[in-house]
Amino acid sequence: MLRRRIPSANSLFTFEAVARLASFSDAANELNVTQPAISRSINGLETHLGYPLFERHGRWIKLTQNGDKLFRATSTAFNTISSSMMEIERRKDNLESVTISMSPSAVNYWFIPRMRQFKQKFPAISLNFHDYGKADDGLPSNVDLGIRLSNPLEPDMHRWPFADEEIIALCSPEYISTHGPLDQLNSKFDHNRQNTHTFVEWVDQRFGLDEFLKATGLKIPENASFTKFSDYSSILQAAIQGQGIALAWITEASKQLLDGKLVPACAQVVKTGRRYHVLASNLTPMRPAVEDVRDWLINQMRSDRKKLQNLFKAERALDNAESVR
């Protein structure tokens, strides 16, 4: 009776792909079949069920109320099955595997420098990293945790505060000793320094130099030069190597600041009002190992923020003392 009532697994897989991608052609590409084959499968499924799953308007499709309900059920079922199979595989090796989705620069400059510390605390956890770009939305089904500037209205998602979005201009200690601070161009600090600055920029930067200068009230120095990169990680590396000033996000550069590889080029920090969260799907139960990694990530950033607050206070006090002399 149950077998006759439930459609074939293949038709459900096809339906889930079409509903998730909102496109027959995209589903065909993902499943490596033709678009007519997708259409036949969906038509057969609707005939079997006795009601439409999509509203069709030319190339535009939208789930019906029944279609939306079936999509949520199939997504939950598929995620549960996938998680269970992955857990069985992990148990075979007596290791827990946790997949984290972060930006490449956050992986390189925030996580990797503390990898040894993580391994010492969690020797039985194997980590997998999933890089994401600006165009990525949500979390892939094979990802346990993600760090994102998240929308609170996103459905099917748990979220825990990670850090406020804060943007700061950074450079190497050697650079600032040669060129001086960005916000003290007309002060007595300049008399033995080169009165020029170089800015290293990411061409696709969402919050660019113009926005930073407008928010802080600073101006571009005379004779300033600019170097642009197509990869955000490159601008941080260029700043570390003393090639110029880069705008950086605290969530990615906090470790470099605390280690002294980068220093603030000015005292101003821009807070955008947005917030990074640690995200996890609420469609499947969270494993204890994932909870441990989540708490570790949050506590690491919380510790970084506390140390940075003390560091910035000390630097401002030193600058004030020097300005009095």
Give tens-digit pLDDT for 13-53.
Answer: 999 999 999 999 999 999 999 999 999 999 999 999 999 99
- Considering the domain boundaries, does residue 89 fall inside one? no
**Burial (Cβ within 10 Å: 0-12, 13-18, ≥19) of residue 220:** middle
Together in a domain, 61 and 122 = no
Each as own residue / partner, the long-range contacts of residues 90-95 (CB below 8 Å, 24 or more positions apart, any chain) are 90/126, 94/124, 95/124, 95/125, 95/126
The pLDDT assigned to 133 comes to 63
**What are the two backbone dihedrals, phi and then psi, of residue 180, each rounded to the nearest 5 degrees?**
85, 170
- Considering the domain boundaries, does residue 18 fall inside one? yes
**Burial (Cβ within 10 Å: 0-12, 13-18, ≥19) of residue 233:** middle
* Boundary of a domain, candidates 54, 84, 114: 84
* 9, 116, 268 from 74: Cα distances, Å: 10, 40, 49
Together in a domain, 240 and 154 = yes
Q: What percent of the chain has pLDDT over 90?
A: 58
- Measure the CA–CA gap between 290 and 142, rounded to whole angstroms: 13
Together in a domain, 168 and 52 = no
- Predicted confidence (pLDDT) per residue in 236-248, tens digit: 999 999 999 999 9
Together in a domain, 77 and 165 = no
Task: Give which of 247, 239, 178, 237 is closest to 212, Cα–Cα.
Answer: 247
The pLDDT assigned to 34 comes to 93
- Considering the domain boundaries, does residue 90 fall inside one? no
The pLDDT assigned to 310 comes to 85
- Predicted confidence (pLDDT) per residue in 46-89, tens digit: 999 999 999 988 778 999 999 999 999 998 888 888 888 877 76
CATH code where residue 22 lies:
1.10.10.10
Together in a domain, 312 and 176 = yes
- Measure the CA–CA gap between 106 and 283, rounded to whole angstroms: 26
The pLDDT assigned to 162 comes to 95
- Measure the CA–CA gap between 15 and 24, rounded to whole angstroms: 9
* Boundary of a domain, candidates 42, 60, 84: 84
Using the predicted structure, report yes or no on whether residue 318 has a pLDDT greater than 50.
no
The pLDDT assigned to 19 comes to 92
Q: Which of 45-49, 172-176, 229-233, 244-248 has the lowest mean pLDDT?
A: 229-233
Strands (E), 172-222: 198-202
Together in a domain, 204 and 128 = yes
* Boundary of a domain, candidates 50, 84, 118: 84
Together in a domain, 80 and 107 = no
Residue 188 — very low, low, confident or very high, per pLDDT cuts 50/70/90? very low
- Considering the domain boundaries, does residue 33 fall inside one? yes
Structure tokens, 236? 């941080």
Together in a domain, 231 and 260 = yes
Together in a domain, 127 and 68 = no
- Measure the CA–CA gap between 241 and 266, rounded to whole angstroms: 18
Together in a domain, 298 and 205 = yes
- Measure the CA–CA gap between 252 and 120, rounded to whole angstroms: 22
The pLDDT assigned to 3 comes to 57
Average pLDDT score over residue span 169-181: 93
Contact 266, 121 (CB under 8 A): no
Using the predicted structure, report yes or no on whether residue 5 has a pLDDT greater than 80.
no
The pLDDT assigned to 189 comes to 45
The domain tally of the chain equals 2
- Considering the domain boundaries, does residue 209 fall inside one? yes
Together in a domain, 145 and 243 = yes
Contact 166, 250 (CB under 8 A): yes
Identity (one letter) of the amino acid at 30? E
CATH code where residue 123 lies:
3.40.190.290
CA angle (54, 55, 61) in 5-degree steps: 80
- Predicted confidence (pLDDT) per residue in 203-226, tens digit: 877 788 889 999 999 888 878 899
Using the predicted structure, report yes or no on whether residue 321 has a pLDDT greater than 50.
no
- Considering the domain boundaries, does residue 319 fall inside one? yes
Using the predicted structure, report yes or no on whether residue 172 has a pLDDT greater than 90.
yes
- Domain of 193, in residue numbers: 95-325
Contact 52, 67 (CB under 8 A): yes
DSSP character string of 70-94? HHHHHHHHHHHHHHHHHHHHHHHTT
Using the predicted structure, report yes or no on whether residue 151 has a pLDDT greater than 70.
no
Report CA torsion sign: 79, 80, 82, 83: positive
The pLDDT assigned to 283 comes to 84
pTM for the model: 0.66
- Measure the CA–CA gap between 22 and 61, rounded to whole angstroms: 6
| Tally of CA atoms within 13 A in the half-sphere of 134 that contains its CB | 9
Rg of the chain over Cα atoms, rounded to whole angstroms, equals 25
- Predicted confidence (pLDDT) per residue in 107-140, tens digit: 999 999 999 999 999 999 999 998 876 545 567 8
Together in a domain, 146 and 25 = no
H/E stretch holding 55 reads strand 54-57
